[in-house]
C-alpha cells in the first residue's frame, strides 16, 4: 500500500507539471526527454536488478508491455494534456480500475460482479458528462478530444497492468520499468524530431526541472513503485489505487495553475468516483460469497 500511495502522489502531480513543460516544448519532445532522463537514472541501478527467469513466449508479453506503456500510453496522454485540463485528465483515470476488470473478464475469463458492470456503465456516462460540459480554457482548448485521448491512455494502462502482473513473478519490477523507459527513449525519438526543431538555449530552467521530475519521479520511481505493488497485491486492488489520482490532480491543478471546473464537471467527478467505490465494495462482497460457496474462477492474483 505504501508503494501505491507513492505512485499515486507522483502520478497525480504529473498533469500540472506536464502542462508547465508544454509551455516551453512540444508534447513529443517532453515525452522523449522524460524517457531519456528516466532511462539514464535507471542505468546506475542496473547492478541491483535480479536476474530474470525467462520462459518461452515471454517475448510476447514483453513486447505488449512496452507497446502499451510507454508507446501507446504516452502518445495518447502526451496530446491529451495539451487539449484538456489537468483536473479533467486526472478524473478520467478513475475509469482505469473498471477497464482492468473488464479486460480481465474478456482476456482471463474472470466473471465480473454485477456491481462492476453497473459501475462501468455509470462511469462511462460520467466521462461523457465530463467531456460534453468541458469548458474551453486557455490551457484546455478542446476538452472533449483531450478526455477521449486520456481514455485511450487508460486502455493502454490496463493492458500494461495485466502484462506486468504476468511477468512480475519472474522479472524484477525495476528491470521491467527500465525496459519500458528505454523502449520509450527509442520510440519517441523520431516523433520528437518530426515535431520540428527547438531552440534549446531558449528553454527555461523551470522546463528542465519539470522534465526531470516527470522522468525520474513520475516515470522511473512511480512505475517502479506501482510495478512492485503489482508483485505483492492482486491486480484489481492495485488498480483501484488509481482512483486517488484525480483527487491529487484536481488539487495540484487548482493550486499550481489555477484551473477551474464547472458544477457539471464536479458532479461528473463525484459520479465516477462513487461508481468505482461502489464497484470495489460490491466486488469484495461478490468475492466473499464465492469464497464461502465455491472456489474463485482464476483470480488475477494467481497469475504469473
Q: What is the pLDDT of residues 204-243, one digit of tens each?
A: 999 999 999 999 999 999 999 999 988 887 777 677 677 7
Q: Residue 249: is the preceding peptide bond cis (ω within 30°)?
A: no
pLDDT score of 90 more than 70: no
Lowest mean pLDDT among 66-80, 196-210, 229-243: 229-243
Lowest mean pLDDT among 1-10, 49-58, 250-259: 250-259
What's the predicted TM-score (pTM) here? 0.73
Please check whether residue 208 is in contact with residue 20, taking contact to mean a CB–CB distance below 8 angstroms: no
Lowest mean pLDDT among 147-161, 179-193, 243-257: 243-257
Phi, psi (rounded to 5 degrees) for 215: -75, -55
Q: Give the Cα separation of 148 and 97 in Å (integer).
A: 17
pLDDT at 64: 95
The helix-helix angle for 143-167 and 114-132 (nearest 10°) equals: 150
pLDDT at 293: 44
Domain count, the chain: 1
DSSP H helices in the chain:
2-22, 27-42, 58-66, 73-83, 86-92, 96-108, 114-132, 143-167, 173-194, 205-212, 222-232, 235-240, 245-257, 263-293
Q: Please report, rounded to a whole number, the percentage of residues in the chain having pLDDT higher than 90.
A: 30
Domain that holds residue 154: 2-302
Which range is most confident: 127-131, 142-146, 198-202, 203-207?
203-207
Which range is most confident: 100-104, 197-201, 208-212?
208-212
Residue in the structure block whose three cell numbers are 478526455: 147
Cα 119 to Cα 99, 112, 114, 147: the distances in Å are: 11, 11, 8, 19
pLDDT at 290: 47
pLDDT digits (tens, 9 = 90+) for 3-28: 988 998 898 888 788 878 888 898 88
Please check whether residue 288 is in contact with residue 296, taking contact to mean a CB–CB distance below 8 angstroms: no
Amino acid at each position: 500500500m505504501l508503494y501505491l500511495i507513492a505512485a499515486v502522489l507522483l502520478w497525480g502531480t504529473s498533469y500540472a507539471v506536464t502542462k508547465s513543460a508544454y509551455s516551453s516544448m512540444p508534447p513529443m519532445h517532453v515525452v522523449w526527454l522524460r524517457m531519456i532522463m528516466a532511462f539514464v537514472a535507471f542505468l546506475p541501478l542496473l547492478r541491483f536488478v535480479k536476474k530474470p527467469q525467462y520462459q518461452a513466449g515471454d517475448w510476447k508479453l514483453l513486447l505488449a508491455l512496452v507497446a502499451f506503456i510507454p508507446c501507446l500510453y504516452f502518445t495518447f496522454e502526451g496530446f491529451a494534456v495539451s487539449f484538456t485540463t489537468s483536473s479533467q485528465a486526472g478524473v478520467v483515470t478513475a475509469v482505469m480500475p473498471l477497464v482492468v476488470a473488464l479486460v480481465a473478464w474478456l482476456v482471463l475469463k474472470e466473471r465480473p460482479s454485477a456491481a462492476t458492470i453497473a459501475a462501468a456503465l455509470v462511469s462511462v456516462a460520467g466521462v461523457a458528462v465530463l467531456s460534453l460540459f468541458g469548458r474551453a480554457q486557455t490551457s484546455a482548448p478542446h476538452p472533449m478530444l483531450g478526455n477521449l485521448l486520456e481514455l485511450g491512455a487508460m486502455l493502454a494502462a490496463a493492458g500494461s497492468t495485466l502484462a506486468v502482473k504476468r511477468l512480475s513473478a519472474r522479472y524484477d519490477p525495476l528491470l521491467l520499468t527500465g525496459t519500458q523507459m528505454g523502449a520509450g527513449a527509442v520510440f519517441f525519438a523520431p516523433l520528437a524530431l518530426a515535431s520540428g526543431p527547438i531552440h534549446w538555449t531558449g528553454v527555461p530552467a523551470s522546463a528542465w526541472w519539470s522534465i526531470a521530475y516527470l522522468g525520474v519521479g513520475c516515470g522511473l520511481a512511480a512505475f517502479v513503485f506501482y510495478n512492485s505493488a503489482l508483485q505483492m497485491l492482486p491486480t484489481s486492488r492495485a488498480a483501484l489505487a488509481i482512483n486517488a489520482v484525480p483527487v491529487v490532480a484536481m488539487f495540484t491543478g487548482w493550486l499550481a495553475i489555477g484551473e477551474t471546473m464547472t458544477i457539471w464537471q464536479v458532479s461528473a467527478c463525484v459520479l465516477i468516483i462513487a461508481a468505482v467505490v461502489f464497484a470495489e465494495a460490491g466486488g469484495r462482497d461478490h468475492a466473499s460469497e464465492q469464497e464461502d460457496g465455491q472456489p474463485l474462477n482464476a483470480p488475477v492474483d494467481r497469475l504469473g
